[in-house]
Amino acid sequence: ALKLRSTLEADLRRAISAGEIVPFYQPLIALDDGRLTGFEVLARWQHPQYGIIPPASFIPLAEELGRVGDLFYKLLERACADAHDWPTQLSLSVNVSPTQFAEPQLAARILAILRERGIDPARLELEITENALVDEVSSARESLVALREAGVAVALDDFGTGYSSLRHLSDLPIDRLKIDRLFVEGAQQNIDKWRIVRAIVQLAHALDLETTAEGIEISDVADILRDVGCDIGQGFLF
């Protein structure tokens, strides 16, 4: 196990520098009319020996090695280069690791990449987890305010599965709540659990926030989410 771990660490350092961590794009669909609004950027490692490696297998390792920031910036640069040739109404949604909020220059570096690649900040949405707010709430607020002032949107990912309080929704510059796939999958199995999804949507709209639902796999679920007022959907269905 130690030898494998050592090999993966060396491989990951090389992969980040060599650009083997690449963006895959998952469509974001407006549920009211089926319109494509943009893409979530998903990191994939194109390993020369093992093929495509999913993020759960290397993002935690990158965080432990202190390289998740390097990985994020290279991924953002690549995604912005791709998005430069897309229709300008299509957005990019990118996950930010909680550990990155300890970096004072986070906002400045993100905005510099957007500027260099010719991407309007209004086309970028950053996804943060509830745990990021708990662990780094003061530095997170500073970075998020600077980004919001420049036009970047902010989504709270996996809402309802972490440890944040509702106070964060009013104290921090949040534009969107992302309904975790666990809620969507649970609602497919038990109709009573749609009450939770409906409550999240109602809470978001009461705070003038939009909502995105993850993990949509069948059209019936997309129809119900549309009927309860969810704005954006993503998942294998699309």
* Residues 46, 39: Cα–Cα separation, whole Å: 20
The answer to whether the CB of 90 falls within 8 A of the CB of 37 is yes
How remote is the C-alpha of 55 from its chain's centroid?
12
* Residues 183, 98: Cα–Cα separation, whole Å: 22
Query: Residue 30's beta-bridge partner residues?
Result: 232
Return the active site residues. 214
The answer to whether the CB of 141 falls within 8 A of the CB of 167 is no
> In a 3-state reduction of DSSP, which class is residue 9?
helix
* C-alpha dihedral, 195 to 198 to 203 to 204, nearest 10°: 150
Q: Residues near 35 by Cβ (< 8 Å), separated by ≥ 6?
A: 29
The answer to whether the CB of 38 falls within 8 A of the CB of 92 is yes
